[in-house]
């Protein structure tokens, strides 16, 4: 995929549209225009939400398409029962 280096808002929007159409669509993700504008405008927390959604969709895609996962740069770890347990810090705060 070719992306033009961008400083202008319109070119950045065009590059994001290309990502949505050619990359994200393959993993079942569509980043809404208002979110793209938030990323371009450097609104706090927006890019983190996008990256988290990309990670989740990519993990789902690779789990559903194991043949694709073999050559992937990202390896999907098997879920750990402890993965979502509270950290020590969180347990202390709850006490």
pLDDT of residue 2: 67
Q: What is the mean pLDDT of each run of 10 residues along the chain (95 residues)?
A: 79 94 93 96 95 92 80 55 41 43
- In whole angstroms, give the CA distance from residue 77 to residue 19: 25
Do 62 and 72 contact (CB within 8 A), yes or no?
yes
pLDDT of residue 28: 93
| pTM: predicted TM-score of the whole model, two decimal places | 0.66
Do 51 and 29 contact (CB within 8 A), yes or no?
no
How far is residue 40 CA from its own chain's centroid?
Answer: 15
Do 30 and 16 contact (CB within 8 A), yes or no?
no
pLDDT of residue 71: 62
């Amino acid at each position: 995929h070719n992306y033009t280096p961008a400083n202008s808002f319109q070119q950045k929007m065009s590059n994001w549209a290309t990502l949505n159409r050619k990359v994200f669509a393959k993993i079942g993700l569509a980043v809404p225009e208002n979110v793209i504008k938030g990323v371009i405008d450097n609104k706090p927390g927006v890019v983190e939400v996008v990256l988290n959604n990309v990670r989740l969709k990519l993990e789902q895609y690779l789990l559903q398409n194991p043949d694709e996962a073999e050559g992937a740069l990202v390896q999907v770890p098997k879920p750990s029962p402890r993965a979502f347990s509270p950290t020590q810090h969180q347990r202390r705060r709850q006490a």
